[in-house]
A and B are shown apart, each in its own frame.
Chain A
Amino acid sequence: MTKQQANWSPYDNSGGSCVAIAGADYCVIAADTRMSTGYNILTREYSKICKLADKCVMASSGFQADVKALQKQLAARHLIYQHQHNKQMSCPAMAQLLSNTLYYKRFFPYYSFNVLGGLDNEGKGCVFTYDAVGSYEKVGYSSQGSGSTLITPFLDNQLKSPSPLLLPAQDAVTPLGEAEAIDLIKTVFASASERDIYTGDKIEIVVVNADGIRREYMELRKD
């Protein structure tokens, strides 16, 4: 008698797209608010964005239960850090923690595709992009999730990122102003919703700058 195979999967794709863009003194992190399973929409108003620290915000798409567990883990670890060091974690520190947390489950991964955005210790915008098992990179902008294949080429075109092979290393942080970056985000999501069935309903846009964190919303196609 052959070994019984599981007829259920521990993973499911809840869909959705995330984007983050770093500027000279700000960082914009955005994600749509649709949560799906298969061809069904479960809810139109689910936030994929989580504030991890004062100047550090994460957006994650993929399998919602894993994303939630990951967010909780990081929030708990941040609390411990605050107790031990009497200060908030910086964005680069949180970036390393996220990578380690993901790799910890290398052999039963968090099905979570993350972009981490915020301000570094000098107040400059920074974005870190991840795969599901923790390999990460500091970049000027990034997109993850179901619409990333549609969004990334457009961002490449508009944000003219310098080649990482250049010496001396050139900053990938965009010279665009905050308002222009937000406008670009809105355009990019509107386009992605046209062709990606998992992206739509509403965008949640979080802006991190010297004044703190603020939130904006924009309606998207509901189909």
Chain B
Amino acid sequence: MNFMASKQPENSLLGPESDSQRTLYPYVTGTSVVALKYKDGILMAADMGGSYGSTLRYKNVERMKAIGKHSLLGASGEISDFQEILRYLDELILYDNMWDDGNSLGPKEVHNYLTRVMYNRRNKFNPLWNSLVLGGIKNGQKYLGTVSMIGVNFEDNHVATGFGNHLARPILRQEWHENLSFEDGVRLLEKCMRVLLYRDRSAINKLQIAKITEEGMTISQPYSLKTYWEFSAFENPTQGAVGSW
């Protein structure tokens, strides 16, 4: 029986195999991000929740940020890793601006950079635990892409992370079309976010919608969606199974 507390943490005795410096699991997480291309650019939506396991710890987390002049980044997963990514991107944009050559990094370039960063961390077995959505428009060219924590990346007319892949993508596949108006785009995003609110345990009813066009990025004030709970299945859940609860 060992009554004395061990002076050395077990990990460091293993030398180079020390796992104490590697991400094992996420702590504070954001849930789905949904985004689509519309007539003038990109629309993106994400709620403002930061969950600590099953606790709703933070209710004012902005999970979408502008990157440079042309891009918008949305993230789900570990919030601290998202903040780290924003620091990387700050430096990237700073160096780009310091050239002072009239050129600026577009969404395609930023997406490529993020993909390489995520893949590189996965190669070192120390991933940034995020699923990222990168959208933007430069010189009339719209771009919308996504990268996962292990470096899987692609671009499409609409993307989503996490639960959004299961619940929002099917709706978008059915109802998205080229040249959506701003109102239609927002309506479509709200439809997706509402389904996520009903069915994703970690979703909260406080969301923002961000828009990026040639003119720049705007992000809405936080607001909540109208929900309907008077379904008979909710009011009388045990109707079809007498004796259950």
Which residues of A are interface residues toward B (Cβ below 8 A)? 1, 3-4, 6-12, 14, 35, 37, 40, 42-43, 45-46, 63-65, 68-69, 108
Contacting residue for A68 out of B115, B155, B165, CB 8 A: B115
Q: Which residues of B contact A7 (CB under 8 A)?
A: 24-25
B156 lies within 8 A of A64 (CB): no
Query: Residues 115-127 of chain B: 1 if any A CB is under 8 Å from the residue's CB, otherwise 0?
Result: 1000100110101
A43 lies within 8 A of B154 (CB): yes
Which residues of B are interface residues toward A (Cβ below 8 A)? 10, 14, 19, 24-25, 115, 119, 122-123, 125, 127, 148-156, 165-166, 169
Interface of A is mostly: loop
A6 lies within 8 A of B156 (CB): no
B165 lies within 8 A of A40 (CB): yes
Q: Which residues of A contact B153 (CB under 8 A)?
A: 64-65, 68
Q: Which residues of A contact B115 (CB under 8 A)?
A: 65, 68
A7-B25, A42-B165, A65-B119 given as contacts; is B127 within 8 A of A14 (CB)?
A: no
Quick one: which of A8, A46, A64 has the most chain B CB within 10 A? A8
Q: Can you offer 13 A-B residue contacts whose CB atoms are under 8 A?
A: A3-B19, A8-B127, A10-B123, A42-B154, A42-B156, A43-B156, A64-B152, A65-B115, A65-B119, A65-B148, A65-B151, A69-B119, A108-B123
Top 9 closest pairs, chain A to chain B, by CB = A65-B151, A43-B156, A43-B154, A64-B152, A65-B152, A46-B154, A65-B119, A10-B122, A40-B165
Chain B residue at minimal CB-CB distance from A9: B150
Instruction: With A64-B152, A68-B151 given, name 7 new contacts (CB 8 A).
Output: A10-B150, A40-B165, A43-B155, A63-B152, A65-B122, A65-B152, A68-B153
B10 lies within 8 A of A37 (CB): no
Chain B residue at minimal CB-CB distance from A222: B173
Q: How far is the CA of A14 from the CA of B127 in the complex (A)?
A: 19
Q: How far is the CA of A4 from the CA of B24 in the complex (A)?
A: 8
Q: Which residues of B contact A11 (CB under 8 A)?
A: 150
Q: How far is the CA of A9 from the CA of B125 in the complex (A)?
A: 9
Tell me how far the C-beta of B101 lies from the nearest C-beta in chain A, rounded to whole angstroms: 24
A7-B25, A40-B165 given as contacts; is B152 within 8 A of A1 (CB)?
A: no
B24 lies within 8 A of A65 (CB): no
A65 lies within 8 A of B150 (CB): yes
Q: Which residues of A contact B151 (CB under 8 A)?
A: 65, 68-69
Chain B residue at minimal CB-CB distance from A69: B119
Q: How far is the CA of A64 from the CA of B151 in the complex (A)?
A: 8
A6 lies within 8 A of B125 (CB): yes
Q: Which residues of A contact B165 (CB under 8 A)?
A: 40, 42
Chain B residue at minimal CB-CB distance from A45: B156
Q: Which residues of B contact A69 (CB under 8 A)?
A: 119, 151
B10 lies within 8 A of A10 (CB): no
B125 lies within 8 A of A40 (CB): no
Q: Which residues of A contact B149 (CB under 8 A)?
A: 8
Q: How far is the CA of A65 from the CA of B154 in the complex (A)?
A: 10
Q: How far is the CA of A37 from the CA of B19 in the complex (A)?
A: 28
Tell me how far the C-beta of A47 lies from the nearest C-beta in chain B, rounded to whole angstroms: 10
Tell me how far the C-beta of A174 lies from the nearest C-beta in chain B, rounded to whole angstroms: 33
Tell me how far the C-beta of B70 lies from the nearest C-beta in chain A, rounded to whole angstroms: 22
Q: Which residues of B contact A64 (CB under 8 A)?
A: 152-154
Q: How far is the CA of A6 from the CA of B10 in the complex (A)?
A: 17
Q: How far is the CA of A3 from the CA of B10 in the complex (A)?
A: 9
A37 lies within 8 A of B152 (CB): yes
Tell me how far the C-beta of A14 lies from the nearest C-beta in chain B, rounded to whole angstroms: 7
Q: How far is the CA of A45 from the CA of B153 in the complex (A)?
A: 12
Tell me how far the C-beta of A41 lies from the nearest C-beta in chain B, rounded to whole angstroms: 8
A7-B25, A40-B166 given as contacts; is B152 within 8 A of A14 (CB)?
A: yes
Q: How far is the CA of A10 from the CA of B120 in the complex (A)?
A: 11
Q: How far is the CA of A40 from the CA of B165 in the complex (A)?
A: 8
Q: Which residues of B contact A6 (CB under 8 A)?
A: 24, 125
Chain B residue at minimal CB-CB distance from A47: B154
Q: Which residues of A contact B25 (CB under 8 A)?
A: 7
Tell me how far the C-beta of A92 lies from the nearest C-beta in chain B, rounded to whole angstroms: 30
Q: How far is the CA of A55 from the CA of B104 in the complex (A)?
A: 35
Q: Which residues of A contact B24 (CB under 8 A)?
A: 4, 6-7
Q: Which residues of B contact A40 (CB under 8 A)?
A: 165-166, 169
Chain A residue at minimal CB-CB distance from B146: A42
